[in-house]
A and B are shown apart, each in its own frame.
Chain A
């Protein structure tokens, strides 16, 4: 199985901050990397697919970068509705695997 490791596990930020979450794969996965946002009590929501492509309807303050084993999710200017947990997920092979999550807190 491909192991996905996110850092940090949690971070404190304020509205307007630039936030960066990193994800590392245990082997090269090209750009087969997706990012999700999960608000407590809700299902995850797709933000970024194929490492850099913004899902339809997702605000442009969300961005993704990286390839191979190292990936980054960036929120350019944190908004109140962005306080949530973020997960990366590889779609390179099965079993599909997720990172452990990064909680963005106030």
Chain B
């Protein structure tokens, strides 16, 4: 079955970069029809879409993070990664990777698979 698993440091210092990886198993990330997505949730708050990378390598980012964010694909390891530069305490959150399944024939475009999430704290 398809599984997503986030990995990365749980603590990042202010002004440094946050780097997370999502390891995907059960399906090739090179397969069309998916956007490989990052979503975060500030403690006790709602969900915030960060951005995605498609199977072809094209990326789409949240305007609120443009300039600080980069999402990349590593097909050889079947994983995708998030890099967020110049972090502040406002970037403290649970970070989820998710699969955005796109099936136009069914009008389906939804996050149908999620990782368990990883808590990242920005603090000195």
Contacts and interface: CB of A to CB of B under 8 A. Distances in A.
Interface of A: 1, 31-32, 34, 36, 42-46, 49-50, 53, 55, 87, 89, 91, 94-101
A32 B107 CA distance: 8
A53 B108 contact: yes
A43 B94 CA distance: 10
Contacts of B62: 95
Interface of B: 46-49, 60, 62-64, 96, 98, 106-112, 114-117
Contacts of B110: 34, 46, 49-50, 55, 89, 91
A34 to B, nearest CB: 4
B107 A50 contact: yes
Contacts, number: 62
A22 to B, nearest CB: 16
Contacts of A91: 109-110
Contacts of B116: 42-43
B60 A55 contact: no
17 contacts: A32-B107, A34-B109, A34-B111, A36-B47, A43-B116, A43-B117, A45-B114, A46-B110, A49-B108, A49-B109, A49-B112, A50-B108, A53-B106, A94-B60, A95-B49, A95-B62, A99-B46
